[in-house]
Each structure stands twice: as structure tokens, then as C-alpha cells.
Structure 1
Amino acid sequence: MSSFYTSLNGLRNAETDLGVIAHNIANAETNGFKKSNAHFADLVANGSLSNPRLATGIGATVSAVTQNFALGGIEQTGRSLDLAIDGDGFFAVRNAETGETFFTRNGNFRIDDAGTLTDATGARLQLTPTDPSGAVTAPGTVIDGQVPVVNAAGAELANLTIERNGVVLAAYADGSIEAVGRVAIANFVASDGLRSIGSSRWEATGLSGAPTFTTPTVGRAGQIMSGALERSNVDLAEEMVALITAQRNFQANAKAIDTATQISQTIINLRS
């Protein structure tokens, strides 16, 4: 019976929906995480020569699982290398071994003993080159974030601060302060075309288009908030409501399968 297969397909779709919701809930406390939504489309058994008044629906299919890049809550941490973007765009980080560049909203960065700015996985934060005063020297290009641990006068690095416009300022023991670059912000024509690769990171695809690099406060790039991190944009109350709806959808399809099975059994018994 077609109703059996239609409802079975509905069970698969409900399972997909539950999986997406469960993934959102599991990452409610993941910094920089962006929630996803499952979208469905109906299937119809209909041809160009068939009577439109006799068209029969044969279930639904998953049309897309899209990501919601709305801004998450901003949490103050007080740590100078914790960064949040108050606006659009992504931080860019480069894997030093493979040369691949990834994009993230999780601004939990650190500096290693060589003065390299990295994320938790060791990928290098990308900066736009500047002169010592902080003026951009090569717009649209990016380099690995590298802070000299000793300046030209031989003084050791004492402190590192990041301004709202993304300028990274290195302060040294002799009192001198030098700009080493500006945090690069990557923007995309269609950010929902980015491919999620885990760890709150994405990579560019043909659907998203190539990244356009700019600096904070320029164009639609937001400003940098130092000493803060962007939380997940998952709303647990909203996800719990969606979870109940998906559960009822699953149960309704299961009941339809049970009914179809009973009808089929009745027909078999009549024939025998």
C-alpha cells in the first residue's frame, strides 16, 4: 500500500528533524556555534497529462538543512585574546601543515612561545598587514598573525591588546608599543553555502563564493570586542518546542504505518 511507504518516508524525515534538533541542543554551550534547521518539501505523483484533480501525494522529502548565522550572545571573559565580532563576518584561520584556510566565529585565541597567534587547534589567525602605526599596507590580503617576542631594541613582549578596529598592539618592556597587523574579517556573498567541518569552523564552497577579506569597522564587517566570546545562538526553549513537534510527527507517522499494516492484514484475511 502506498500509504505504508509514504508514512515510512515520513518517519525518516522526522528522524532527520530530530537529529538536527538534537545536534543544536548538544551544542547550546559551544562558543561560536550556529544552529541548523531542517526544511521539507512534499512529493506528488503527477504527470503533465494527468488530471490535476486526481493528483496523489506520496509523502515528503528533506529539501535542505540550513544554518542560521544570527549573532549569538556575547559573554565577557576579560581575557584580551578572547575576541567576538559584533556584526557580520568570520575570523580566518590557516592550518600551517595543509595551508587550508577555515572560518570561524569562535574567537578563543592564544599566543605560543614563538609569538604566533593561534586557535585551540593550532591554526594560525589571519591578519591584514599594517605598518607600525596600524595603517593597512595591503588591503584584501592576509598573513599569519605573528607577534615579535623581542622588539628591535631587544625589549621583551610584555602585553598584547586588540582594538575595536582590529589593530593588534604589542607592548614591550621598554614602554614601546607597535602594531603588528589588523584582524582580518572574511565575508561571503552567501554564508549559508559554507560547509561546516566541526569545531565551530566552516570552509568555503562554490555555493558560498570566495571570501572577501576586509578589516573591522570597514563596510559590513562588525567591530571587534576584545575580552569577550560569542556564545551559541541556540535558544533552548525554542529547540524544546521543536523537539516536541518532531516527536509528535514521528509518532503520527508510526501510527499511520500501524494502521496501514492492519488494513493490509484485513485484506489478506478476506482473500483467504
Structure 2
Amino acid sequence: MSFFTSLSGLKNAETDLKVIAHNIANAETVGFKKSSVQFADLVATGSATDPRRSPGIGATIAGITQDFVLGPLEQTGRALDLAIDGDGFFALANPFSGDVSYTRNGNFRLTAAGELEDTWGNRLQAYPVDAAGNPTSTTPADVAVPITNAAGVTLANVTINNRGIIIAAFADGSSEPVGQVALATFAAPNGLRQAGQTKWQATGESGAAVFGNPGIGTYGEMISGALERSNVELAEEMISLLTAQRNFQANARAIDTATQISQTVLNLRT
């Protein structure tokens, strides 16, 4: 029994090491959120078992939780770099499948067709607005920035203010709002499924996305010209790494000891 008990400890320590290594590997990834492993003990008892004689049968993984605390904000000075000072997520739509994912990575770019997208070509979702910048719909959609205005003047630049209003400025000095960035929140963000590329997908455990306007309620304000860095603290991860390594070594030593005891019993002579 001691073999299987220590084996569960080895497997858990290995999982812990994998999660810590993943955190360390993404210490410089924009919008990354660190994870941690939660463990639980296993006890096999019956109604007739003396509770004072229950040694337990090892440990198991209760869950791997994500920490969505705000990471440090880095000023970049680039107009299409966005950070959220709050709990919201940017919504991104895949242009081919239409699937929507969510991210804290606000590094966007403008395409030749006037679309705002991330590095992998997913389209930023925003509310359509009127000439005063007020949303005209509660359904987010792809952003469409006009490359020329009504007079045929070429687009000069695009800026986004702290309310998430996307403003197109043209070479003749005119400007017009073209959308407002839609932010999503979730009842249980720890239930979000990691999809890679610092994106998450909604699940039954997270609940459906609830969209809102930047700066209202729990939706954070937009900070233009900044990016949210990873919330991984390398000093904490190094300490956790040493602890996980000690746990692995201790369980391996327990298996080695159990092996020696078993070998001693097998070598007994009558």
C-alpha cells in the first residue's frame, strides 16, 4: 500500500512542477494569468474502521485554479495597445468559425480593410456608436474603421479613449467615433477554459459572458498605450519550485524505503 500512496505523491508533485514551470515560462507573456494546484488527501475507511487507525491512501489533485489578479501595467505609447484597469476581458471573434474567445492581452493592430484584430487574426468586438459616441446596440460586432471619410480623405490614425471609444482621425483634421470596445465579465472566471495564446473560452462552470461598457460597474476602464504584463511573481514561483522538488524527492525516498523493507522481508530465512 505504501508504494501506491507514495506514487500518488510523486504524480501530484510532478503536476505541481508542470504548473510552476508553465508559470515561469510565461513570466513575460502579455495578459498571462498564473495557476496553482490544489491538493486533497485520500482516506479509505469503512463504518467498522477505528478512526484512530486510518493511515490514508495518498493524495489527489482537487483542481488547478487560475489567479486573475491584475498584472503590472507597462506603458508602450502605442495607440492600439490597450490595458483594462478592472475585471473585464476583451472579446475576440474568429473570422472563420465565428467562435468568441476572451483575453486580457490588448495588443491589437489595424488591417488594410479597417479591422482591429489581435496577432492571430481574431477580430476585436465592439458596440456600434452614433456620431456622439453613444452605443446604438447591445450586441458586440467586428470593428469597422473607415479607411477614408465621406470626403475621400485618407485615415491618419486610430485612438481609443478611457471609455473604450474608438476614434478614427483623418488627414484633413476631422475625426469620428466608430465603435466602443465591449468588455465581458463572468460569474465565475475560474471556470474559464484556457485555450492558449492567452485566451479563454466560456464553459458551463464560468457561466455565459455578460457584456458591458468600459468604466461602468465592475467593467474596468481602458488605458490606451499600455499593456498588462503577466501576474507571475518569479520569486514566489522559485520558492514553489523548490517546495515541489522537495516533495518529489521525499515521495521518491519513501518508495525507495518501502522497496528496501520489502526486499528485507523477501530475504528472510527460516
Band of TM-score, shorter chain: over 0.9
Superposition pairs of residues 121-140 of structure 1, within 5 angstroms: 121-139=120-138
Q: Aligned match of 1:239 in 237, 240, 250? A: 237
Matches within 5 A, 1:184-263: 184-263=182-261
Distance 2:60 2:269 in 1: 35
Q: Distance in 1 between matches of 2:47 and 2:76?
A: 62
**Which residue identity does 1:265 align to in structure 2?**
Q
Measure, in 2, the Cα distance between the counterparts of 1:191 and 1:61: 23
Give how far 1:241 is off.
Answer: 0.2
- Alignment of 1:111 with 2:110, yes or no, is yes
- Structure 1 CA distance, aligned partners of 2:163 and 2:196? 28
Counterpart CA distance in 1 for 2:48 and 2:201 is 45
| 1:217-254 CA-partner distances (Å, limit 9, x unpaired) | 01100100000000000000000000000000000001
Counterpart in the other structure of 1:163: 161
Q: How many residues align?
A: 270
Partner SS state of residue 244, structure 1:
helix
**Counterpart Cα distance in 2 of 1:200 and 1:41:** 28
1:1-272 alignment runs, 5 A limit = 2-139=1-138, 141-270=139-268
Answer with 32-41 or 46-55: which moved more: 46-55
TM-score, scaled to structure 1: 0.97
* Root-mean-square deviation (Å): 0.9
Q: Which runs of 4+ in 1 moved over 4 A?
A: none
Deviations 1:8-47 (A, max 9, x none): 1110100000000000000000000000000100000112
Once residues 189 and 9 of structure 1 are traced to their aligned partners in structure 2, the CA distance between those partners, rounded to angstroms, is: 33
Structure 2 CA distance for aligned equivalents of residues 143 and 48 of structure 1: 59
CA distance in 2, matches of 1:34, 1:110: 23
Cα deviation for residue 50 of structure 1 reads 2.3
**Counterparts of 1:54 and 1:241 in 2: how far apart (Å)?**
35
Distance in 2 between residues matched to 1:237 and 1:54, nearest whole Å: 40
Distance 2:129 2:104 in 1: 23
Q: Give the residue type in structure 2 aligned to 1:172.
A: F
- Whether contact under 8 Å (1:159, 1:172) holds in the other structure is yes
In structure 1, C-alpha distance between the alignment counterparts of 2:178 and 2:213, rounded to whole Å: 14
Letter aligned with residue 175 of structure 1: G
TM-score (norm 2): 0.98
- Report how far residue 56 of structure 1 moved: 2.6
Q: Deviations over 1:85-121 (max 9, x none)?
A: 0111100010010000000000000000000000000
Contact 1:46 1:56 in 2 (8 A): no
Structure 1 Cα separation of the partners of residues 269 and 252 of structure 2: 26
CA deviation digits over 1:179-226, x for unaligned, max 9?
001011000000000000100000000000000111100110010000
8 Å Cα contact 1:81-1:162 kept in structure 2: yes
Aligned to 2:260, the other structure's residue is in SS state helix
Q: CA deviation at 1:49?
A: 3.4
